[in-house]
Amino acid sequence: MTLRRVVVTGLGALTPVGNTAQDFWAGLTKGVSGAARITRFDPEKFRTQFACEIKDYNPEAYFERKEARKMDPFTQYAMVVADEAIKDSQLDLDSIDLNRAGVIWGSGIGGLMTFQEEVKSYANNDNTPRFNPFFIPKMIADISAGYISIKYGFHGPNFVTVSACASATNALIDALNYIRLGHMDVAISGGSEAAVTEAGIGGFNAMKALSERNDSPETASRPFDKDREGFVLGEGAGALILEEYEHAKARGAKIYAEIIGGGMSADAHHITAPHPEGLGATNVMINALADAKISPEDVDYINVHGTSTPLGDISETLAIKKVFGEHAYNLNISSTKSMTGHLLGAAGAIEAVASILAIKNGIIPPTINHFTDDDNLDNKLNFTFNKAQERDVNVALSNTFGFGGHNTSIIFRKIQE
């Protein structure tokens, strides 16, 4: 069976370092840290008092007040980036077959703030069962895709993937496959997350997963640094317009890149810890390369999962060396989480945007906050520490791994007409 080609024709981003795809890219290439003391609630009682929040976000700049109140922030973020991506793609919705246009989205947690606030309200009202009628529709993760499809009238496949931090990349891989197998021609795909809440910070603190570097939040996310001690929680969303190549070409669309393959695997090891030898990470990259029908030597850049956790960074590095062998030393490797923090289920979406823009612009975004080499890592690898590097990028691979041992890799290539 001949698979159809799939390209990216629109981008949208709402992140801690920029509220549009263009501003996001500018923040990344300048090495801007999005981490600061939490403003959404008083974090004084928490062990971690900082996060990578979206800056200068006002829902009423995008929605009517009544409309915004019906949506959890994670859905608002999804709607904002979907709108940006649609406009960027210049899709004429009146001229495409909406029955062959779908929405495949990702979110690891969904409406955490809504859930938290409704339960607090219930507990503070003598346990009287009074709940907002929008409680369930605001909370459920799939509602993000539902809202997007309603706004644009997309009648094709519509669902949300939930695989923790791998969710958005799973969504992109599903959208890739639905298009190349002929089930649809256009997809809005990506992911959103809004977990910077008391429950989010408190829950991850209880797991000892977060950095507690409250005296220097802007340097707390430091992947591959000797003194890394946990990830920094982020929030936001990213969206891509995926299109069948001939469909995009026929309408004269600008094409950012082609998606040539995706891989999935499971660690089958532990609910939160990565496999110590990077078994699942190794397998997922091998699977992605096989699906893309390219060799390891074809890859120029890896946007790594790189969360700044002691174990995760080591296991991913081991996996890269196993898969790429000597070519690993020719790669640029970077973790944009050093700037954005970890957007959980939305991470794969904004990192896909970063990977695509690295191809388009010939620039590798840096891994910031590197101060001390870790002798447990191979420091001959090019982690693109502290400063962006110019490089012609033909092929970029993006890794996202999630609690539960879920692993995903997706591969983008400069368009070949």
Cite the active site residues: 165
Q: 202: exposed, middle or buried (C-beta count within 10 Å: 0-12, 13-18, 19+)?
A: middle
Tokens coding 196: 């910077």
DSSP assignments along 201-251, one per residue: HHHHHHTT-B---TT-GGG---TT-TT---B-BB-EEEEEEEEEHHHHHHT
| 376 neighbors 261 (Cβ within 8 angstroms) | no
Distance CA 23, CA 163 (A): 28
Tokens coding 74: 């994670």
Give, as one character, the DSSP assignment of residue 185: S
| 90 neighbors 256 (Cβ within 8 angstroms) | no
Distance CA 212, CA 62 (A): 34
CB neighbours of residue 380 within 10 Å? 7
| 389 neighbors 410 (Cβ within 8 angstroms) | no
- The residues, any chain, with a CB within 8 Å of residue 356's CB and separated by 6 or more, are 8, 11, 240, 256, 257, 396, 412
| 7 neighbors 243 (Cβ within 8 angstroms) | yes
H-helix or E-strand spanning residue 364: strand 363-364
